């Protein structure tokens, strides 16, 4: 815990008495703290806008409030520039094994994200268009003379191919970061946290990201798609899904490439880049182009 963060937390005008502060693990684009205030437990998230990642904290606040109103995320207690305070949910974060075991609950939760959250969303709303995000990353990496500059033209060309193959598009409201650690189980139900990448998007991006982030088998992917869409999956939708899943892997790879340059958080981004680049390249080779 940094002294600066401790002072920021202590200065918030919401505390009722003497507080106890403990750092929470995780968070690659913010710092998270558990604060006990009398009998209350709150999570304080500290993080500024990160323009290179298209993270705008005001959007995170709006989405977090809408997700709470939709009944799937903790309540927003307080917010100001770079600060978001949420009610603490007692429970465990899921592993990718837990996600696969709870797939029916996960599908129900994802549908609520896509169709219930936007009904509760008021104010300026963002779109998270993965192909724009990828092109934006490519431009950033070129300007910064990244160590990956030699493959950027190839990745840009692949991006154009994936954008064409994944159309036409349905648009819903996406969480866009369905990592296993963003799901919480309180013992009776599931919650979804971390809304910093939220925005209107294709449902296939969340579904593809869910599958790739949680190591779904082909049979598990088929189950996911058929039960999300409530129908057998035809070849056209399968191509669209596979292309968007591949795009989600490319976006995760480039997120890490950019983070190698910009992030001050202690994390092995180089290793993470290579892991995701390998997964992306394997996925792209499997597409019928």
What is the set of domains in the chain, with CATH numbers? 3-87 (3.30.200.20), 92-286 (3.90.1200.10)
Q: Give one DSSP letter per residue of 54-84, joined into a string.
A: TB-HHHHHHHHHHHHHTTSSPPEEEEETTEE
289 residues of the chain, pLDDT tens digit each:
688 899 999 999 999 888 999 988 776 678 899 999 988 899 999 999 999 999 999 999 999 999 999 999 999 999 999 999 999 999 999 999 999 999 999 999 999 999 999 999 999 999 999 999 999 999 999 999 999 999 999 999 999 999 999 999 999 999 999 999 999 999 999 999 999 999 999 999 999 999 999 999 999 999 999 999 999 999 999 999 999 999 999 999 999 999 999 988 888 999 999 999 999 999 999 997 6
Query: CA 115, CA 201: separation in Å to the nearest integer?
Result: 12
Strands 183-185 and 31-37, how do they pair? unpaired
Burial (0-12, 13-18, 19+ Cβ within 10 Å), 11 = exposed
Calculate the CA 260 to chain-centre distance: 18
**Residue 275 and residue 272: Cα distance in Å, rounded?**
5
How far is Cα 49 from Cα 91, in angstroms, rounded to an integer?
A: 28
Q: Which long-range contacts (CB under 8 A, 24 or more apart) does 94-99 make?
A: 94/180, 94/181, 94/183, 94/184, 94/185, 94/190, 95/180, 96/180, 96/213, 96/214, 96/215, 98/180, 98/183, 98/185, 99/180, 99/183, 99/210, 99/214
Q: Are 144 and 174 in contact (CB under 8 A)?
A: no
Radius of gyration of the chain (CA): 19
Closest CA to 63 of 150, 132, 125: 125
């Amino acid at each position: 815990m940094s002294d600066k963060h401790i002072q920021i937390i202590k200065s918030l005008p919401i505390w009722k008495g003497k507080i106890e502060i403990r750092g929470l693990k995780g968070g690659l684009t913010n710092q998270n703290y558990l604060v006990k205030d009398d009998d209350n437990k709150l999570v304080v998230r500290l993080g500024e806008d990160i323009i290179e990642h298209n993270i705008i904290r005001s959007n995170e606040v709006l989405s977090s409030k809408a997700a709470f109103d939709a009944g799937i995320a903790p309540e927003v207690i307080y917010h100001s520039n770079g600060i978001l305070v949420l009610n603490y949910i007692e429970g465990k974060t899921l592993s990718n094994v837990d996600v696969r075991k709870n797939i029916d609950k996960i599908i129900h939760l994802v549908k609520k994200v896509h169709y219930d959250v936007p009904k509760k969303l008021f104010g300026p709303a963002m779109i998270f268009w993965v192909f724009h995000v990828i092109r934006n990353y490519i431009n950033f990496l070129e300007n910064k003379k990244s160590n990956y500059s030699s493959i950027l033209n190839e990745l840009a060309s692949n991006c154009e191919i994936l954008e064409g193959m994944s159309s036409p598009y349905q648009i819903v409201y996406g969480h866009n970061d369905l990592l296993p650690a963003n799901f919480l189980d309180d013992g009776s139900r599931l919650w979804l946290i971390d809304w910093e990448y939220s925005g209107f998007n294709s449902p296939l991006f969340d579904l593809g990201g869910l599958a790739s982030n949680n190591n779904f088998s082909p049979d598990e992917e088929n189950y996911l798609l058929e039960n999300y869409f409530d129908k057998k999956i035809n070849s056209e939708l399968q191509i669209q899904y596979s292309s968007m899943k591949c795009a989600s892997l490319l976006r995760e790879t480039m997120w890490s490439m950019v983070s190698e340059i910009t992030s001050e958080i202690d994390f092995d981004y180089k290793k993470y880049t290579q892991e995701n680049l390998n997964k992306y390249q394997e996925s792209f080779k499997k597409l019928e182009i």
